[in-house]
Structure 1
């Protein structure tokens, strides 16, 4: 519904349900339902099916407000992101913080901006590349130095990034070990996308990985 409002605000002319559905990747039935829902909530949308819809001028969204506890939770979460060394997420976190601060009453703005942004030293491998490989289900070729200092070259099917306070871990299927493995980003000395992928297998691999983690936890607890 927020995307609908944003779309209406960006266009001065009437938009048909078919146009809106194509832009938002939804069905016309969903668009009709959501427009009716917005109208029921008092959003001034004029028009009808088959004719098009337009948002009357002057409408604006209400200000975004949080309780003190909610602000503290947001601050803690955003402030931890720079410690991952992920420059893309750090930039996004700073943008989120700025938007939240701008939307708060003046007396609360100092609270939002009170947390410092202390980044960890950057890893050799940019986390944005790993996130892309996970999304697109692309194989990775990495050079990894383990805790004993031994360097190995691995072909990995990446399935998840795990963000801890002091480390970021890449989880994936290691073709060398023929099993799931976890790699600290600060020990990955080189990483490329050599070509090839595992399209359509990501969800199944994540399910198998979760089962393996559960079994490991049971073993450790017994």
Structure 2
């Protein structure tokens, strides 16, 4: 049983007024029903008060608390504010993930931070033409991407690139990548990208070195969000 999935399962059941079936839990956690049954049995064996049975559903009895996280009060406050500010990126995937993190913090850390600290989710970022979740996945898995791009002058081109990092500026979100067309590092605004997909192929094992080269160059000359 993976510890992270265990916490996810407890957070999912916490505060529910009705039992959740194994199928519902499996869908939300991205696991199989067999895995859910095994995880619940493991948690029950550890003393977590989960009631229910296969075919009926499962519910967490009120009053169960997770052990506290090893964060100071100010560290918890910093996390709460940072999670709230993620809404300004316009990245729906990150916002959804932030809600999950916030639920775990609320379950295991001092709870007053969420009530006393907040941030406006408003932002003036232009609508992204490429899905940030796809780009983040390509960066993690070190996979090539291909897309259409329109530069500041309105010229259009087709690009293939090795995605390295997403940079969230105040007025734009930028993909840092090694462009296979230009054979150099480039920065692409997400609102000028379109038809982004994974054409196959990757750069496994090269991402860290490429990011180090890109970072060293940008330290000497900070990037302009609009250039590509």
Which bin holds the TM-score, normalised by the shorter protein?
Answer: 0.5 to 0.7
Unaligned runs of 5+ in 1: 11-54, 218-222
Q: Could you tell me how far apart the structure 1 residues matched to 2:101 and 2:119 are?
A: 13
- Tell me if structure 1 keeps the 8 A contact 2:76–2:109: no
Give the drift of 1:180.
0.4
Q: Could you tell me how far apart the structure 2 residues matched to 1:106 and 1:136 are?
A: 35
Deviations 1:96-143 (A, max 9, x none): 22332344556554225x334336564121101111111222111111
Q: Could you tell me how far apart the structure 1 residues matched to 2:184 and 2:172 are?
A: 22
Q: TM-score, normalised by structure 1?
A: 0.63
- Tell me if structure 1 keeps the 8 A contact 2:67–2:108: no
Give the drift of 1:157.
0.9
Question: Paired residue for 1:117, among 85, 101, 121?
Answer: 121
The worse-fitting range, judged by mean Cα deviation, of 151-160 and 164-173 is 164-173
Question: Paired residue for 2:142, among 137, 144, 164?
Answer: 137
Q: Could you tell me how far apart the structure 1 residues matched to 2:75 and 2:154 are?
A: 43
- Tell me if structure 1 keeps the 8 A contact 2:164–2:176: yes
1:212 paired to 2:225:
no
Change (3 A) 1:150 1:56: closer
1:101 paired to 2:106:
yes
CA RMSD of aligned residues (A): 3.4
Larger radius of gyration: 1
Q: Could you tell me how far apart the structure 2 residues matched to 1:152 and 1:128 are?
A: 23
- Tell me if structure 2 keeps the 8 A contact 1:86–1:122: no
Q: Could you tell me how far apart the structure 2 residues matched to 1:62 and 1:182 are?
A: 43
Aligned length, in residue pairs: 171
Change (3 A) 1:184 1:138: same
1:75-86 equivalence runs, <5 A: 75-86=80-91
Q: Could you tell me how far apart the structure 1 residues matched to 2:107 and 2:113 are?
A: 10
Q: Secondary structure at the match of 2:195?
A: strand
Q: Could you tell me how far apart the structure 2 residues matched to 1:207 and 1:104 are?
A: 36
